[in-house]
Chains A and B, each alone.
Chain A
Amino acid sequence: MAEEKYNMKNPAVKRILQEVKEMQSNPSDDYMSLPLEENIFEWQFAIAGPPDSEFEGGIYHGRIQLPAEYPFKPPSFMLLTPNGRFETQTKICLSISNYHPEHWQPSWSVRTALVALIAFMPTNPNGALGSLDYKKEERRKLAIKSREAAPTFGSSERQKLMDEIHQYMLTKAPPVPQLGAEQTSDEQATNQETDAVVHPQDGDDIAAGDEEPNPEADDRVVADVREVHVNANAGPLRVSFSAELSVSRRVPATGSSEQVQTQEVRVLQRSDDRLFTWAAVGLTLAIVVLLLKKFLRSSGVDVASIGGFK
């Protein structure tokens, strides 16, 4: 970074250079963002689509503009990769970005804002300005397409930076899970049915985790997963979420990451085991009852009187 080019007495410049340094020394698997060399108030970024959403595996590029009054005034965000959630080349309406200037605070940073942006992707747009409400399948198609290359935008220097960021994100972002929508719902249904027959209570729990009707709860889950990625040391959090929530959602998951697969296998095994246990217990009980009846009848005791005694 050409530090001598900028007035180091300018507190905004000082702060921004600090953030660049911090971003470079603590890179994340979920996003990457760097300023243009010619203008540190202009950044390029890419975020990985949040896991367990139709954006998973997608790489979404965008630009950030920092105001001269940064960090007192918020940065503004704009996506460049078609994604089905936010319009491209339109300032994004997040309360963390400058849509609601009164909510921004100097203790936030580009990093905080990117984390929030990822968490926002699977939320319901509620008709907010600059938001799109594409179908899941459409979004999934865009996610696959987004991996091909960074979008074409701006100067050659900017393009170069975007291509670099794209290469970096390709090494970090998991592939798009390859499953058709119908397949998923079929599998979901069977799995829940099996569970319900075997043990209704367990079946309910899993269904509750999977078909959470409350959109806010869903948001929170995603937000949690995001947070985990920021504080890499909180790894177990993510694991436990995968275990609870992706049980039936991603059963076939041929192309998905290994970690999640192991989780699924384990969970499936658990329910299989349960099925066998209960079947065995049921059978044993039935046999015992039958034997008892036979024994009592053969020894001449009135079965009906025992029933009455109960």
Chain B
Amino acid sequence: MGNNEKVAVAEEEKKSVNEVVEVAIETSYVDNDDWATYRDDEVMQQHNAIQAEEAHKLPFVGDKEPLSALAAEYQSGSPIIQEKIKLLGQSFSAIRRTRGDGNCFFRCFMFAYLEHILESQDKAEVDRIKANVEQCKKTLQNLGYAEFTFEDFFALFLEQLESVMQGNETSISHDELLTRSRDQSVSDYVVMFFRFVTSGEVRRRAEFFEPFILGLSNMTVEKFCKASVEPMGEESDHVHITALSDALGVAIRVMYLDRSSCDTGSVSVNHHDFVPSISDSPNGTTNAVAAKPVMTLLYRPGHYDILYSK
């Protein structure tokens, strides 16, 4: 029956609703109960107050502290944690904390990577990552992002990358890198750049990431990116780390500091290396990868900091 077919087609088309509108409409239903009694400026004010309070405690990126500072935090804490910090002390000398504002992983990655380039002056690595960044830009274009919504963030990251290479007019010192990482107008832009890159990579390889995302949040890939990757302040999980590591071709080591221990009673610090997968590179090149971790992050449930090897 012709009419039924028409209806089926219409149904099909209804499904392809503008996602922004969909998110907006859904939340308008859900949030009415919780938020109807607050005005939007009140919500904003509270939001800003919380941020200001956090800012007071710690800059986006803190100073380098000896590992003993970490031990001091757990003086009267779990013996397993104390034991693990001792073990960490065998290979690591220092820690650099980041603010716990939901962007800590990206902030760690930004500082640790730029610091690595500043210290190594590795021109080949800079060229390699630039090519990957270019690829990420194409990914976003292919996914239908309007260029003006992400180009500023890309430009700002590339600018920082140029700056940490010495010998240019725009070159910066280690102190300046730290200052910039604490400056919201640089730091947040770079974090947002990483969020775009991560979102693009997750969506480009939706099939690969889908089972992980389903296990994590029971969301579709699309929704996950809109709700947990692109908005600032959304915490990162292993999906984010895998995607960012793959997209930029940068290996990341994460040390896990939690209260887990073996049955035998012996304590060891678990770690995981996020090594970029090379088989799925969009342009088919297999050499665009640094397999050795260029940074080590310390994970405590809900938060990332940077660790420095001895």
Bitwise, A229-258 to B at CB < 8 A (1) or not (0) is 010000001001101110000000000000
Q: Is B7 an interface residue (CB 8 A)?
A: yes
Rounded to whole angstroms, the CA-CA distance of A116 and B146 in the bound complex is 16
Q: How far is the CA of A120 from the CA of B22 in the complex (A)?
A: 10
> B4 — which chain A residues lie within 8 A by C-beta?
205
Using a CB–CB cutoff of 8 Å, the interface residues on chain B facing chain A are: 1, 3-4, 6-7, 9-10, 13-14, 16-18, 20-25, 27-29, 31-32, 35-36, 39-41, 43-44, 47, 145-146, 148-153, 156, 185, 188-189, 192, 196, 226, 230-233
CB neighbours of B28 from chain A (8 A): 93-95, 120, 123, 126, 128
A297: interface (CB < 8 Å): no
Question: Secondary structure at chain A's binding surface: helix, strand, loop or mixed?
Answer: helix
- Report the Cα distance A62→B41, complex, angstroms: 18
Q: Which residues of the partner chain B approach A97 to less than 8 Å between Cβ atoms?
A: 40
Q: Which residues of A contact B (CB under 8 A)?
A: 10-11, 14-15, 18-19, 22, 71-73, 76, 91, 93-109, 112, 115-116, 119-120, 123, 126-129, 201-202, 205-206, 208-209, 216-217, 219-221, 223-224, 226-227, 230, 237, 240-241, 243-245
Whole-angstrom CA separation of A116 from B22 in the bound complex: 9
The answer to whether A116 and B185 touch (CB under 8 A), given A72-B192, A101-B47, A224-B14, is no
A262 to chain B, nearest CB (A): 17
Within the complex, the shortest CB–CB distance from B29 to chain A, in Å, comes to 7
Q: Which residue of B lies closest to A221 (CB)?
A: B14
How far, in whole Å, are A93 and B21 apart by their CA atoms in the complex? Answer: 14
Contact of B145 among A19, A96, A107 (CB under 8 A): A107
Q: A128 touches which one: B3, B32, B226 (CB < 8 A)?
A: B32
Contacts of A202 on B, CB cut-off 8 Å? 1, 3
Check A116–B20 contact: CB distance below 8 A: yes
A244 in complex: contacting residue of B6, B21, B148, B232, CB < 8 Å: B6
Contact of A107 among B21, B44, B150, B189 (CB under 8 A): B150
Report whether A22 and B146 are in contact in the complex, using a CB–CB cutoff of 8 Å.
Answer: yes
